[in-house]
Structure 1
Amino acid sequence: MDTSAMVSFRFSLLGPLRAWRQGVELTLGPPQQRAVLALLLLRRGRAVGVGELVDGIWGADPPTAAVSVLRTYVSRLRRLLEPERPADGSPRLVVSLGDGYALRTDAVVSDLDRFEDLVARAGAQHTEGDDPAAVELLREALDLWQGTPLAGVPGPRAEAERRHLEERRLAALESRLRIELDLGQHARVLPELTALYEAHPLREALCELLVLALYRGGRRAEALAVYDRTRRTLVDELGIEPGPSLLAVRAGLLANSGSGPPEATDVDDRFDVVDEGDGGGLADGTGEGQGGPGLPVSAVRPSQLPTDLATFTGRRAQLDGAAALLPDRGHPQTSVIGLISGMAGAGKTTLAVHWAHRIAHRFPDGSLYVNLRGYDPSGSRMSPGDAIETFLVALGVAQQAVPEELEARAALYRGVLADRRVLIVLDNAGDSEQVTPLLPAAPGCLVIVTSRSRLSGLVARHGAHPLALNPLSAEESLELLARRLGDARVDAEPEAARAIVALCAGLPLALSIVAARAALNPGFRLAGIAEELRQDHGSLDAFAGGDAGTDARAVFSWSYHALSPEAAGLFRRLALHPGPDITVAAAAALAGVDRRRVRTPLTELTGASLLIERAPGRYVFHDLLRAYAAELSEAEDGEEVCGAALLRMHDHFLFTAHDASTVLDPFRESIPLPANTTDATPLRFNDRAEATAWLRTERYVLREIVAHAATHGFDTHAWRTAAALDVYFNRLGYWHDLLEINGAALRSARTLGSVTGEAYSLCGLGVAHSQLNHAAQAQRYLEDALELFRSADHASGQARVHRGLAYLCNRTDRRPAALDHYARAIELYRSEDDRSGEAGVLNQVAWTYILLGEHEKALERCEEAVLFYQELGDPYGEASTQDTLGYALHHLAHHAEAIGHFERSARLFHGIGDRYLESDVLRHLGDAHLATGDRDAARAARRAALALLEELGHAEADEVRRELRELGEPAEPAPGEPAV
């Protein structure tokens, strides 16, 4: 369409909402009409639904004719903005899209657009090193603000957007002040910083800037006083300690070197904590330094809500009651909890998700969702600690920074949510104890809990607002059926439709299954469907929450008997899977067919609403349907058929996990596997990225698989699968998972009487306890493992344990003892002619010498290890050792040589695809360049490291940002600047 003839408009949002057409200011009408315009402008050309507009303008108390009034406002805006319409009378600016409206942005400009453009250009100038130009652009951007954004615009959505825009203004202001500080203008910015800090005492970034300005102005005591005041305020009001960036500034103050905070702490100190290069003495020789705990400086806005049901209907009374709970009235002091309770299949999750989608825009800091699986028939209930961990990672906390204990996790979770407005959906809670640790302390959050139980403890102790969900009324049930099948089909057979509704007894799950079958068979008469339901009427009281009036089995069996034999068999087999969700590959293993053939019955099951495709290729049961499928499996298949399916499943996971472990570390000692006696085909991985992706997505399933194997007689699979997962779980810092799976593996190995299995499991437990700083437990498990490997005359197993003991010694400052264990490990590897194992130990010995300050000895061991790795063709081992070699040379002040080895290491890690260790080496490279005085090269290396850490979402990204700021250089690579 030719837009050249369209009217040009200019809008102002960074103050009172105003509009101009061809330079003439327009009168925008009543407040609600301005709110409609504001919401359309903020959506930037995307459609805004009618329901969202009503909710955003009037909130929980819309007028009776809200939709009609809204359409009147839209009509007036069209006349105002386009007094002269095209010949066909259709609007070109405010257009109808689906069930809503959109504002075409072709000929629209706003001060918000201008602000964003200036901030982006300032970032580019800062990246290119032109900080004065960046400051001027940021000043110009901030000058666009004319008071409170969207002033005069009513409604909860406008209030949320105001807060969001104010946050963006403060972020731009902080960026300008930080750059001016880097330019040495601390005296100039100090008054402005002081005023801002007084206005925002809980804002750590402003405190950090003020502390730096005072310190660089020679006012160190005042700087420390400001830090102490901020810490007290954070602890007293929010119950949290300062974040890592502010703590680093304080450390610089206490160091008191020069006119500003010192450079990064000496690398010896950093590596003395955890990192020891190629495994740092870890038992499998593949551990990576995880860095210290910390939180990202930049907040992440998660959006985890499941998809809303497009055909949702009914539940008007419950939605009206829920609307009154929204925490946007006044200034709430605590989070609000809405508790939706009701029998299984009553539609609790559907209602919670629908309601959450309707109000999500009121929570500018995002939405969180978790299925707690409180009533899962398989028993795979999610622990509060695991739920908090998933939330923390979604909120931007690095995996390695998540504490071990539940109380510490809960405290960190509450701290991360402080000053944020987040919508949290806790689905399928089993009891109050499962929910309580997941409740935020921050005011303005809303928690929606669903449960079959009434959770009276949550109501009594935490003020939850109960919303009881009864079966649908006859009218609501008919409406649901009509939404799924169409009014014409229901109206054509009203008696049959009412009979179906009565037989489903108002259970939404049952109605949905019946509707799905009828929709897939448009030729079926509703009278015939009703008759089939009458004939199959049985009893499913045990699954109906004690309500004998609801007979779900009739619906399930009617739909089940309509399945093809392949789909029916798969439906029964899937109930055997213990994990929270099921992949295509796992389904194929259970069914005993290849992955191509299993897709057809999977599609049939999802089409019949008997299975849900939660994500592409990942399927979940409603727990009522899982229970029904398990009942069918027990009745129709028998122990022999079920046992064969489970064996295929466990073979699939064991052999796939083994292949993933081999791809991640091809030179690691391989544990012999039993013969694959089934037709289950394991997955194969072409590279480390594929193997890591599978392990990451299957992490929680794999935990359940090991536990299931240990409790259902698949003991060989249990300990061998746990051993195969050791590399990945250790490397990524999943040490609590290692404790769980090795605990189960140990029980299975002892049941079998397998000395080797018991020794591997004990070793895994020892390594996990070492990483978690449980020194006494680690020592005990590792010594027990060593004794068992000795009794079995298992040399490589003994060497593995000696490496674990050496690592533990280094973590507990017993360097000579660590060297003794490494020496014994080398002897054992030599007895087995295991050159890869010997090379790994030599590299770890070198790290130990570095920790002792004996860098010449470290060089000798590194050179031996590099030769071994090059002969073996092991790029991973060589990469780790080249890094160690460069590190030792750097500390001997041979910086030019060190740079060459760091560059070689970085190239090798890049080729392997290990982004974390590549970033670690790049930081070492930056240190070496800095030691030679080449600040540009140091900046480039650290930028490249930062890019990798940001991609990983790793906590160490903040440290690199700080290092770049201390260099006085931008923290992002300049356009076109190559990575090192």
Structure 2
Amino acid sequence: MVVRETEDGHVRPAVEVGLLGALRLRVDGVEVAVPGERRRALLALLTVAGRHGMGTGRLVDALWGDDLPREPVAALHNLVSRLRRHLAPHADLLERRPDGYRLRVSVVDVTIVRDLLASAADTPDPAERLRLTVRARELWRGEPLGEFAGIPDLDTERVALEDLHNRLADTHVEALVECRDPSATATARAGVASAPLRESSTRLLIRALAADGRVGDAMAVAMEFRDRLRERTGLDPSPALASLEQRVAAGSEFCQAETNPGPGVTSRRRPAPPAGPLVGRERERAEIVRLLSAHRVVTLTGTGGVGKTSLALDVAADPAVFPGHAVVVVNLAAVARADRVLPSVVSTLGLEVGVGASVDAIARAVDGSLLLVLDNCEHVLSSCRELVAAIVELAPAVRILATSRVVLSLPAEYVLRLQPLTFPTRIDDVDAVARQPAVRAFVEHALRRNPDFAVSSRELADLVDVVRRVDGLPLGIELAARQAAVMPMSAVARMLDGALDLATGTAPVDQRRLTLRSSIDVSFRRLTVVDQAVLASLAPFPGGVSLRTFESVARSVEAEVIGAGGIGVRGDGGLDPVGTLHRLIDSSLLVADASDGRYRLLHLIRTHLLDHLDRAGALAVAEDRFLDECVATVRDIGDEWLGVAEFEA
């Protein structure tokens, strides 16, 4: 810590930064105004980065985004110089490092609050806990980092600070309740109003009301929370709420700390099987069961709409699969933010591990023989990866089946990539067409909506065209089959010109799957800028690309994007076509065909990317690159035609 001694002998921090409200800078105890949005954002970014500092490319991306200056590195240097002036005579605390910058801040209010909260957790005396939490709450001046919305690193930190604020509020209210403070009920009610779906806040309000002798009000709060949670998330409260309700109803232990009822997962029933027909997945289903018997973690991956969730639920619902195990499904589609993953797992499993428990504590609490299904991991991947790694290490009896468009990339993970259903390429053999999984699935879905549905011989060509144009994706087949139940197949085929915008009909809680287009776009937007550009550049290639062509296109595109100012898109800033290829395959947006060594886009993904290029005004450039590659391929063939590679040519 950098400090200075005042004339009266007291030690004063040299530089203090406040994040818990409007950004504040103090130098030698005097508040210093920091003007300018980017200058303030730079101070916040370097403060949050702490002793590790932040790389130049990442700072440029955070501060300018897509609106890059002509000389971004020089612009950053200028911004740093201006910030150093505010730190004088401690400008040397803002250090230049080989890969970026670091600010050695003496005091950050966030650190003080975290230390106070940790001390409160270790203090058995409720009066002392109350004193510590009051002191911590005094440092909270307003919304942390509220002025920096849209800067990803600061958005992530804001989420962490929201969680810190919630944990502080819970600890404070619990101390009020245990001290019989008359303000406990009002404070607890304010906490529930600010976070109506946080069970811990609701339990504290129930305890506060019960301590006041208001048993009826306490039970009403519990009932309202149960209804609210089910209506908004589809989840049930943890067993801890039911345990508290029983104690309140019995009139005992109103103010004692809640006891840990244990995980309670072994008594849970199997989840319900998927509602729709599961056709053509017999081989994959058997493979999942086999893999789970041999591996702790199996990830079922594939593009959006390929049927990962349905297949996972079908396996989980089967009582013949791991009959000695409890089976719990955590639906992460309803979890909007990464910091909500652990609370969702705790609530679904019925764990009582305390407010703000670490991932290791949660992993240890997941006890006994359990098959844990983590469904829809891709949008909260880092949190899922951290949780699964901890469970593998600390809960040896637990097996995990994850579904995700992007693999977890863990050493213990075994990946099963789910492909679209196969569909016929010819219609001359009617019986063979009828046996194809994509056709069987289409008919099954149509029959569920129209028991009299049948395909005539003259409609067979239209049916095959429909399943082909939705790439054999189960979700696309289901959407098209809905239309076939009420209109001729020829009309359904005509509708598929807008197949990407067919509504999926899923519940509003899963906003990621409202249309096939939005389902694809979610995965596309998670890619880096460079990877997006490379993937889109493949759209003009109707038959996919070879490895040589992919490397050529990727090098060209990556060089253009980085040269145009995409600094720091990847950590090393270098060209790495093979690394890009692996990321695109792992994101389930590019299909690898091992049989002929080609890489291709599904029809719907290709259509989406062509639309994306057209809207961006980049379609002509991408088509020119396609033609250049065609010419290069012809020249290669010409060079090899009369040489040793004649046969391959």
**TM-score when scaled to structure 2?**
0.47
Larger Rg: 1
Q: When you count helix as a share of all residues, which structure comes out higher?
A: 1
**TM-score when scaled to structure 1?**
0.32
